[in-house]
Structure 1
């Protein structure tokens, strides 16, 4: 982000429908390069005022059938959903259905500290309620439909992390509860509330909540990137509805943000309450970007291997959205690229055959896919142009950047990887576990 601090405020006035400019062609080449080098699949979009100044789709919504992503492809937006949920809560407050100081105990008496936790603290993650997505078996539990009662029972015995109101700690459970509360006060499912309060007024036809991915609606499947794309295990979004389950397009995410920040969805007073004041701070479903010039707001998300992020700059009326269904680079890197484009700044296409730490010829000997002897477990090593990137084969596995320690040894937290290029092998050490892997010969 450091390079953004001295950006000058001179936006490109590039309107949809004109012939492509050299800068557009350059950005197209960059995004295409990322796809061809298996760094991302998905959609990106930039808006200025009321116009789309750039939009592009790359990759496949379904790899098996070679169906390509397009401008109407829907992606699960993950935790971007929290911005929508926060808006719904603030609208309920404007309608007199809720108050910020209402207690969780009015709806859920037996949740730990419910009598101390307010709606405002739920919105701002100041509750201490345990994050249910960190429960050990949650990755299996989330694959089946669960009722509200089952959700509460799943969580009820988990500890409280701190006294409500004493500090901030992000917890998906907070927004799940807000979704349940909305359903109670309106006596309607979350999907209907979303449609009635946000989608219909804004004419959003491609934004909705449903419990399962539906390919008949042009919804993208999500993938893990290895030497090939591996489709993820199916999540049932019944347990992620108000905190991570909305489906939308990149264009319609922006078509939600623009009216939100321009007073057409909630009042100016409600928007002011929603927005955090300090850099990097979390408000109500929105975080402030960690740089000053330009000043903007953000939220990112991940569910399965759908990755998402938006940036919005109210003063400039500039919106940037990235929705991905496969990636092993950070969405913030793509967002930075799109912001540089919007401001007419130069950027270079990264070299996916090198890292900052080792020579290109040495990295080429290391990169690739490595299998255990039984070939059931494997991982892929790639580069984002600066760092070595590791991603294991398990469906939904997060990619990580490795730190170089010398002598072909790389580390991430308690994991160590040592490569032996001459014999095409690698040894992975994690705690007391030591595993040997063999590099796939043909790639």
Structure 2
């Protein structure tokens, strides 16, 4: 199958206002395929390219886990060390080990779930302020009794690295990972800089709406790294081929069961080939990697605007890598509505008497909802019949009135009226 078809697939995503971003396939120590679509900066018409840097969100955790295990190898740290050695003010710190932080088995409350955190994270905060921010939150379970993903775990791990090395996280990342691998487009910084060819995050509406800024001082080791699809692949290849940590340390990182979280890495649900993954999201920076050690195959998608599942991109890439056919998704219908029916309700709507807009589109299967107010990634709705769609068992309902070019958004006791524009 020719590269032209895969190029056409990604052009189709961009032309349909489904995605802007960058992708790459890495096969046996060399670049097999790369492509970039859309804009890093819509206002300046600066296009994404192979050197455009994207925030990779929680994929940062894979790098942080590597840095922790390098610290263990250098005898700077022990996996059985207790959190209380560094932060005794954190609840249950005397029971929580470094290993439990790595595996999300600490019980610590996820600070990104704190009400108002989306506003709080827009400003710079010091280590002391961040620790204080999480110190008073409840524990969700006794350490090592359960698993629950929490950004708090890796934020604290980053600060611990800074304490034991007396260097900041950005410098440690460069010293221990980027410089040895000659990665020039991978780094940690607190703010997005378009002059460094960094992509801006956008919500897709009838136009691209820039998301609110995030200060990554609040996501240091849990979600703040910027990188490219090619360099993320280079990092993965180096990690799995013994160029960063020992095989024994890598084995500690890797979970045994499908869908299980190890140390900064999750095992894919694929039966064959055996692979490992992590994804990330901050605003509409959505990122995902798959790596298959036996095949030495890396698949990476990074985006700065998207309203389809990243799986659509990842799946097309792996099908191409294996020489298999894949189809262009049809975004003009859903599985429940014909093209004619869907054409009547798709588009952008403005709140009656307000400024909020919502956009209705399709990912080729489901009806997709996006709101300008919350700047979030797409939300799929389920069809209930009679032009009514629901999300999460009727917690949110969309009732379309096609003849009037209106839609009612019902949430709890509130009803919001939107007019198609």
Distance in 1 (CA, whole Å) between partners of 2:341 and 2:161 is 56
1:439 to 2:385 alignment: no
1:369 to 2:348 alignment: yes
Unaligned runs of 5+ in 1: 1-21
Kept in 1, the 8 Å contact 2:202–2:209? The answer is: yes
Secondary structure, in 3 states, of the residue corresponding to 1:178? Answer: helix
Offset at 1:345?
A: 1.0
1:429 to 2:410 alignment: yes
Equivalent position of 2:401 in the other structure: 420
After the TM superposition, which residues 20-169 of structure 1 pair with which residues of structure 2 at under 5 Å, given as runs? 23-169=2-148
Equivalent position of 1:307 in the other structure: 286
1:323 to 2:298 alignment: no
Distance in 2 (CA, whole Å) between partners of 1:426 and 1:177 is 45
Distance in 1 (CA, whole Å) between partners of 2:402 and 2:162 is 57
After the TM superposition, which residues 397-412 of structure 1 pair with which residues of structure 2 at under 5 Å, given as runs? 397-412=376-391
Cα deviations across residues 102-157 of structure 1 (Å, max 9, x unaligned)?
A: 00000001100000000000000000000000000100000000001100111111
Kept in 2, the 8 Å contact 1:231–1:395? The answer is: no
Kept in 2, the 8 Å contact 1:202–1:256? The answer is: yes
Distance in 1 (CA, whole Å) between partners of 2:389 and 2:358 is 14
Distance in 2 (CA, whole Å) between partners of 1:118 and 1:396 is 36
Q: Among 192, 211, 221, which residue is 2:190 paired with? A: 211
Cα deviations across residues 158-185 of structure 1 (Å, max 9, x unaligned)?
A: 1100000001000000000000000000
Kept in 1, the 8 Å contact 2:79–2:98? The answer is: yes
Distance in 1 (CA, whole Å) between partners of 2:190 and 2:16 is 32
Q: CA RMSD of the aligned region, Å?
A: 0.8
Equivalent position of 2:243 in the other structure: 264
Kept in 2, the 8 Å contact 1:224–1:395? The answer is: no
Cα deviations across residues 280-331 of structure 1 (Å, max 9, x unaligned)?
A: 0000000000111111000000012100000000000000000000000111
Unaligned runs of 5+ in 2: none
1:195 to 2:200 alignment: no
Q: Among 192, 217, 221, which residue is 1:242 paired with? A: 221
Distance in 2 (CA, whole Å) between partners of 1:161 and 1:399 is 29
Distance in 1 (CA, whole Å) between partners of 2:312 and 2:36 is 17
What is the number of equivalent residue pairs in this alignment? 419
Equivalent position of 1:14 in the other structure: none
Equivalent position of 1:283 in the other structure: 262
Distance in 1 (CA, whole Å) between partners of 2:240 and 2:52 is 25
Kept in 1, the 8 Å contact 2:306–2:377? The answer is: no
Secondary structure, in 3 states, of the residue corresponding to 2:148? Answer: coil
Distance 1:395 1:406, change over 3 A: closer
Q: TM-score, normalised by structure 2?
A: 0.99
Offset at 1:395?
A: 5.0
Equivalent position of 2:208 in the other structure: 229
Distance in 2 (CA, whole Å) between partners of 1:83 and 1:100 is 16
Post-superposition, which runs of at least 4 consecutive aligned residues in structure 1 deviate over 6 A?
none
Q: Among 372, 382, 399, which residue is 1:393 paired with? A: 372
